[in-house]
Amino acid sequence: MPIVTFKPDNRTVDVPNGTTILEASRRAGVLIEAPCNGAGHCGKCLVRLPVDDLVKLVVHMNAPPDDGEGAVLACHAEVFGNVTVEVPQCREEGLRVISAGAAVEFGLEPLIRKRYDRVADQTNIFAGDSLLAIEPGDSSGNNPGLVVDIGTTTLAAALVDLGNGKTLASASSLNPQSLHAQDVLSRIRFAADENGLKLMQRDIVGELNRLLEELFAETGMESGKIYEAVLSGNTCMLHLLAGVDPAPLGKNPFLPGIRGGQHLKAANLGLKIAPAGLVYLPPVISAYVGADISAGILASDLAALPGTTLFIDIGTNGELVLASDGRLTASATAAGPAFEGMNISCGMRAAVGAIERVDISPHGLLDMGVIGGTEPTGICGSGLMDLVAELVEGGIIGPSGRLTVPKSGAINQTLAERIIKTDGVSAFQLQGQVLLSQKDIRQVQLAKGAIRAGIELLLKEAGRSAADLDRVLIAGSFGYHLRERSLLTLGLLPPETTGKVAFVGNTSRSGAEMLLLNRGLRQQLQQSVEQVRVVDLAGSPEFERVFMGAMGF
């Protein structure tokens, strides 16, 4: 069998003829980023081989090499001989993750309580009224808890003092699962295989334990002192964390295997907190409206807000909740990975070198905000939204989404000079090799069209119109970096919402923190979730028509 050697780790693996380099890397335990899970359209799994080794491959689809020598897509290059593969190292430094989120006021009533017994010189740890563990001596003043928002793309974790509710330390990172499959649907397909599910669970638990080590190093605390963790996330993320097959989430009748509102044993998950530690999962609303949205409902006190409120978590899976005088209606729509910078020719996550903000002056000059203040190497989701919105406003992108050269106007003429041809197709040049292609604009149209269609149909189902909205709450780490002007220019939000938009941050994490610090809120949230009416937009006969109409600018 062929031997594949991966550099710079010097790992080798024997594989049958016809195995792709991507499959070989997973067998060898070498990480090659492939967010589309081998579909071949994201172009992120580019690896390099000595030119002589190329004859030992069958390449079904070859990405253009960046220097003309030995570049292939790992997912579409099959091995038929011994090869050496150079794997590029991760370039995403300084990944920007918003961990803070809005939250209403609440009282302290944690599930975990510590009581010192002077006679026995020991501290008894209770979970509610049940004795959970015993520690020698007096440790009653040391009672931390853990909260984590398990996002599809990022993780945000924090240690919280259960005695006073203060955050002791925070840490964040990329969800390593996103390197194998970017969005929820591709992750469901990836984990449908038993080995894929094991890999997904191993990756997420391993990264959570690494974040714990980071938190412990910052605070000087011990892992054995944490007796409860509240882990929030969408329905698929909770399945992958618990090692539960997510396949039913991807087929009718879309029934979750995990409903949340329950405890799991941390030891069974492999989470390195106290041996007797518990993991609480917030209640799940449906297969595609998860515990992250339940936590957001709690953090924003959505059911108690007067009038009509639209709550949106914008990401690969756009989740929507409409609250109208206490009645909650929820749905979700598959926006795809464009908002995370994936499936975009120069797209990247919100890390150093990513263009995160774009403004165009009255004279047509570009003002770009780049994370880290460096030369731009790509564009992340918020920058992409800004750029397309500015070009729509300037007439460079027409209503159909096509890049056009305007006939007159100083600003348009200056911008028109940035329209170039690459591989015979028009593209807008930001700087150097950082481009916005016609295909990229189409991805933005598809993503924003899906969310706008979801908004329109959700309003209709609730018997409301956009004019009835009193406020729009944009949640999530990605949503926090967006601007109201761009959302309105693109048409992702109805024009009637002008001046009514608020960005509430990571309410999945802030809601999880409320659940950690007040156990009484768990029953309250469970009751709210049970009253939510879920609308299946995918099954709506009108969705396709509304979606097509929402794609235009």
Question: Is the same domain home to 277 and 367?
Answer: no
Per-residue pLDDT tens over the stretch 502-520 = 999 999 999 999 999 999 9
Q: Give yes or no for residue 91 having a pLDDT over 60.
A: no
**Whole domain around residue 343: which residue ranges?**
338-442
Residue 317 contacts residue 339 (beta carbons within 8 Å): no
Once rounded to an integer, what is the mean pLDDT over residues 183-208? 93
How far, CA to CA in Å, does 16 sit from each of 9, 13, 280? 21, 10, 43
242 within domain boundaries:
yes
Q: Between 24 and 228, where is the model more confident? A: 228
CA angle 416, 436, 368 (to 5 degrees): 80
Question: Is the same domain home to 264 and 225?
Answer: yes
Helix (H) or strand (E) holding 313: strand 308-313
Question: Is the same domain home to 410 and 263?
Answer: no
267 within domain boundaries:
yes
498 within domain boundaries:
yes
Strands, E assignment, 374-431:
378-379, 419-422, 425-431
What CATH number does residue 232 fall under? 3.30.420.480
Residue 402 contacts residue 389 (beta carbons within 8 Å): no
Question: Is the same domain home to 192 and 165?
Answer: yes
Question: Is the same domain home to 37 and 178?
Answer: no
Q: Can you tell me the distance from the alpha carbon of 192 to that of 17, in angstroms, rounded to the nearest whole number? A: 24
Give the pLDDT of residue 65. 47
Give the pLDDT of residue 69. 66
Give the pLDDT of residue 395. 86
Give the pLDDT of residue 92. 52
Q: Can you tell me the distance from the alpha carbon of 12 to that of 412, in angstroms, rounded to the nearest whole number? A: 54
Q: Give yes or no for residue 108 having a pLDDT over 90.
A: yes
Long-range pairs of 39-42 with CB within 8 A, sequence gap ≥ 24 = 39/75, 39/186, 40/73, 40/75, 40/76, 41/343, 42/182, 42/337, 42/342, 42/343
Per-residue pLDDT tens over the stretch 127-177 = 999 999 999 999 999 999 999 999 988 899 999 999 999 999 999 998 999
Question: Is the same domain home to 196 and 251?
Answer: yes
Domain C-terminal end among 33, 52, 86: 86
Q: What is the dihedral of CA 399, 401, 406, 411, to 10 degrees?
A: 90
Q: Between 126 and 364, where is the model more confident? A: 126
Per the listing, tokens 């959970």 go with: 132
Q: Can you tell me the distance from the alpha carbon of 252 to that of 242, in angstroms, rounded to the nearest whole number? A: 22
Per-residue pLDDT tens over the stretch 266-302 = 999 999 999 999 999 999 999 999 999 999 999 999 9
Q: Give yes or no for residue 486 having a pLDDT over 50.
A: yes
Q: Give yes or no for residue 460 having a pLDDT over 90.
A: yes
Question: Is the same domain home to 210 and 351?
Answer: no
Give the pLDDT of residue 281. 98
Question: Is the same domain home to 357 and 437?
Answer: yes
Q: Can you tell me the distance from the alpha carbon of 476 to that of 340, in angstroms, rounded to the nearest whole number? A: 12
DSSP string, 219-253: HT--GGG--EEEEEE-HHHHHHHHT---GGGGSTT
Per the listing, tokens 């780490």 go with: 477
460 within domain boundaries:
no
Tokens representing 381 are 């989701």
Domain C-terminal end among 62, 86, 110: 86
For the entire predicted model, the pTM comes to 0.84
Give the pLDDT of residue 66. 46
Tell me whether residue 155 is exposed, middle or buried, using C-beta atoms within 10 angstroms of its C-beta: 0 to 12, 13 to 18, 19 or more. Answer: buried
Strands, E assignment, 386-513:
419-422, 425-431, 434-437, 471-475, 501-505
Annotate 450-484 with b (16+ C-beta within 10 A) or e (fewer): bbbbbbbbbbeebebebeebebbbbbbbbbbbbbb
How far, CA to CA in Å, does 508 sit from each of 140, 193, 298? 29, 29, 9
Q: Give yes or no for residue 255 having a pLDDT over 70.
A: yes
Once rounded to an integer, what is the mean pLDDT over residues 328-345? 85
Per the listing, tokens 């998860």 go with: 290
Percent share of the chain, pLDDT over 90 = 61
Length, in residues, of the chain: 553
Question: Is the same domain home to 139 and 82?
Answer: no
Rounded to 5 degrees, φ, ψ at 456 are: -60, -45
178 within domain boundaries:
yes
3-state helix, strand, coil in the chain (%, to 5): 35, 25, 40
Residue 343 contacts residue 36 (beta carbons within 8 Å): yes
Q: Give yes or no for residue 64 having a pLDDT over 60.
A: no
**3-class DSSP assignment, residue 134:** strand
Q: What type of residue sits at position 350?
A: A
Once rounded to an integer, what is the mean pLDDT over residues 101-108? 86
Confidence class of residue 71 from pLDDT cuts 50, 70 and 90?
A: confident
Question: Is the same domain home to 287 and 384?
Answer: no
Q: Give yes or no for residue 63 having a pLDDT over 70.
A: no
Longest dimension (CA), the chain: 88
Q: What is the dihedral of CA 41, 42, 48, 54, to 10 degrees?
A: 0
Question: Is the same domain home to 437 and 480?
Answer: no
What CATH number does residue 34 fall under? 3.10.20.30
Q: Can you tell me the distance from the alpha carbon of 29 to that of 23, in angstroms, rounded to the nearest whole number? A: 10
514 within domain boundaries:
yes
Give the pLDDT of residue 89. 66
Give the pLDDT of residue 50. 85
Give the pLDDT of residue 337. 76
Domain C-terminal end among 86, 101, 127: 86
Number of domains forming the structure of the chain: 3
First to last CA, the chain: 54
269 within domain boundaries:
yes
450 within domain boundaries:
no
Per-residue pLDDT tens over the stretch 343-382 = 888 998 888 899 999 998 888 889 999 998 899 999 998 9
From 301, 285, 233, select the one nearest 471 (Cα to Cα).
Answer: 301
From 212, 169, 160, 166, select the one nearest 516 (Cα to Cα).
Answer: 160
Confidence class of residue 463 from pLDDT cuts 50, 70 and 90?
A: very high
Question: Is the same domain home to 374 and 403?
Answer: yes
Q: Can you tell me the distance from the alpha carbon of 205 to that of 194, in angstroms, rounded to the nearest whole number? A: 17
